[in-house]
Amino acid sequence: MTTAPGDLTALCAEVRRVASTVVDPEIPVISIADLGILREVVVAGDHVEVRITPTYSGCPAMNMIKSELEQAFATAGLAPVQVRLVLSPAWTTDWITETGRRQLHDYGIAPPAPGGDRTALFGTTTVPCPRCGSTDTTQLAAFGSTACKALWRCATCREPFDYFKCH
């Protein structure tokens, strides 16, 4: 792919747009952009690189995300685009967009509060139930359906739910 200097901004925007259509395979209602996994798009001459960061360093979904990104770029005629995993700085729940927080909630996953602090890491936070809104909730297990989530239960509606852990 050969790109004139004036087209770099447009190419970067198109690569970001296509990358933003890829959803998290573990939470199929949220894009990797809204989850904050999509870090940046770098265009330098003919080299295009997309950088992604996992929600935690051992996230098994990253291989699938990389593969789906490569497929999305090829389908859009944007190949070759290099997808690179970046671990530093580590992903933080602060990177989840407001749209992403709403999508998590609507899917039944309690989103972390923006700017989560150390108390959230040690289980002393209040987590509202995504189903009924009650704050009469308790943590059942440090890990939920995936390692980046904890399992909680609401005492009001008696339903279990995942909580996206702050970090």
Q: Where are the domains of the chain?
A: 5-91, 96-164
What local confidence, expressed as pLDDT, does residue 74 receive? 94
What pLDDT does 7 receive? Answer: 75
Least trusted range by pLDDT, from 13-17, 18-22, 65-69, 79-83: 79-83
pLDDT grade for 76, boundaries at 50, 70 and 90: very high
For the chain, what is the mean pLDDT?
89
Q: Which fold has domain 5-91?
A: GMP Synthetase; Chain A, domain 3 (3.30.300)
> Among positive and negative, which fits the CA dihedral 32, 24, 84, 91?
positive
Q: What's residue 9's pLDDT? A: 86
Query: Is 3 or 75 the better-scoring residue by pLDDT?
Result: 75
Are 140 and 123 within 8 A, CB to CB?
Answer: no
pLDDT at 119 over 70: no
pLDDT for the residue numbered 154: 97
What is the Cα–Cα distance from 157 to 18, expressed in whole angstroms? 39
Distances in Å between the Cα of 99 and the Cα atoms of 103, 105, 111 are 6, 10, 11
